[in-house]
Every structure is written in structure tokens, then in C-alpha cells.
Amino acid sequence: MDFLPPDITAYADAYTSPESELLCRLNRNTHAHIMAPRMLSGHIQGRFLSMISWMIRPHRILEIGTYTGYSALCLAEGLADNGKLITIDHNEELEDFARSYWRQSPLNEKIDFQLGMAANILPTLNETFDLVFIDADKRNMSTYFDLIIDKLRPGGFILVDNVLWSGKIVESIKPSDSDTLAVLAFNQKVHDDPRVENVLLPVRDGIMMLRKRN
């Protein structure tokens, strides 16, 4: 979902550094061959994730929701020399597709893919993360936040995608719309949590940026 008029989006696209040739092919082939390609972060959000990663130079990044591996490659660009990105997805059908693109990048050796349900894998991770990107099922946003906040270093950052949920967060909600209710509950929860500072960026479908207080 894009909230900006198409010509403004096109202008922002034109004045954002281009994707690498590899990311461009991954983006195109995801749209050509994979279900629900709207889930892929895309050009501007991908460059944003890369820029944030370069600003932090993280040693450990956690991504929840790999899909075809586009955002993993973007986030991995800014990793410190000996850094590692762990990315989790439960869809085994996408693993080979994602890996086939990672293998074409020198960043491949820094990407650790873990197949399974995120809520099961997160408690098993013995790492301290500098940067976390939450981009999986919206119903579990709050669960993922609870499971990773103690694994995030003080001063570390969490980015959460789709927090504007195509604008549904300001519309009247059916009691059965559990995804929208979950996004609303998550936004309220982190806004009220004294352990974090938050900025809701209206980029694409909305990105919540959180910084864990020292």
C-alpha cells in the first residue's frame, strides 16, 4: 500500500539510489513467479533498510519474515565485517528461491536462514541483536516484540513493517478483523512501553521504528 500520489512515489523512486542488478532481478522474478509479490519490501523500502543498517553497522541482525530474501540482502549490506543476519520463515517452498539469489552475493556467507515458526525459533536464539526487522504474520507482532526485547542490546533498534495496514487502522473495524486489531494493539503496546522510544514512519505501509532505551 502506498499512501502518496503515484507521481510523488515515482519522484521518490527516481531520486533514491537504484537497486543492485541482483536485487532488481530478485524483485522482478518474485513478481513473475511467486505468490503475493506485494509482500516484498521493494526499491525504496529496501534502500531504507540498507541505509539504516549502514548507519548502525550491526554485528547481529534478526529478521522475522524472509519471503524471497530481498529485505535480508538489503539489511545485510550494512553488517559489520564479522556480522551475521539470522532470518526466519516457515514457508519451506521459498527457501530454495531465496538461497539461489543469496548465493549470487558475497553477503551469502553472512545470512543464516532458519526454517520454522518464528515463535518457536526465537526462544532458541542465544544472541544479542543490534537490529531487528519484524515483517511476518501481523497477529503475532506483539508476541515477537515480547520474545526479542530482552535479546536486543540497550540502544538497539527494531523496525516493524505494515503498521498502517493499508490505512485500516483509522477505519471502522469489524470485530472479526483480527489482523487490524492486532496491528492496533501492537502500535498501542509499544507506544506505551517505557523501555522503547518510537517513531511511526508513514513510508509505504508504515514502519514503526523503535529504539531500546539504555
Ligand X SMILES: C[S@@+](CC[C@H](N)C(=O)[O-])C[C@H]1O[C@@H](n2cnc3c(N)ncnc32)[C@H](O)[C@@H]1O
Identify residues 111-140 at the interface with ligand X (CB under 6 A).
Answer: 117-118, 135-137, 140
Identify residues 1-60 at the interface with ligand X (CB under 6 A).
Answer: 39-41
C-alpha to C-alpha distance for 96 and 67, rounded to whole angstroms: 11
From residue 12, give the alpha-carbon distance in Å to each of 8, 47, 113, 187: 6, 12, 32, 26
What's the closest the beta carbon of residue 45 comes to ligand X, in angstroms? Answer: 7
What's the closest the beta carbon of residue 98 comes to ligand X, in angstroms? Answer: 9
User: Crossing angle of helices 21-33/95-102, nearest 10°?
Assistant: 160
DSSP codes of every residue in 111-152: EEEEES-HHHHGGG----EEEEEE-S-GGGHHHHHHHHGGGE
Beta bridge partners of 63: 87, 133
Q: Where are the beta strands (DSSP E) in the chain?
A: 60-64, 84-89, 111-115, 129-134, 152-161, 196-201, 207-212
C-beta closer to ligand X: residue 118 or 190:
118
What's the closest the beta carbon of residue 58 comes to ligand X, in angstroms? Answer: 16
How wide is the angle at C-alpha 84 spanned by C-alphas 209 and 108, nearest 5°? 110
Identify residues 90-109 at the interface with ligand X (CB under 6 A).
Answer: 90-91, 94
C-beta closer to ligand X: residue 113 or 130:
113
What's the closest the beta carbon of residue 214 comes to ligand X, in angstroms? Answer: 28
C-beta closer to ligand X: residue 21 or 81:
21
Contacts for 163 with CB less than 8 Å, ≥ 6 apart: 169, 183, 186, 187, 200, 205, 206, 207, 208
C-beta closer to ligand X: residue 35 or 199:
35
C-beta closer to ligand X: residue 70 or 157:
70
C-beta closer to ligand X: residue 103 or 213:
103
Stretch 57-86: interaction string toward ligand X, x if CB under 6 A: --------xxx--xx---------------
- How many chain residues touch ligand X (CB under 6 A)? 19
Q: Which residues bind ligand X (CB under 6 A)?
A: 39-41, 65-67, 70-71, 88-91, 94, 117-118, 135-137, 140
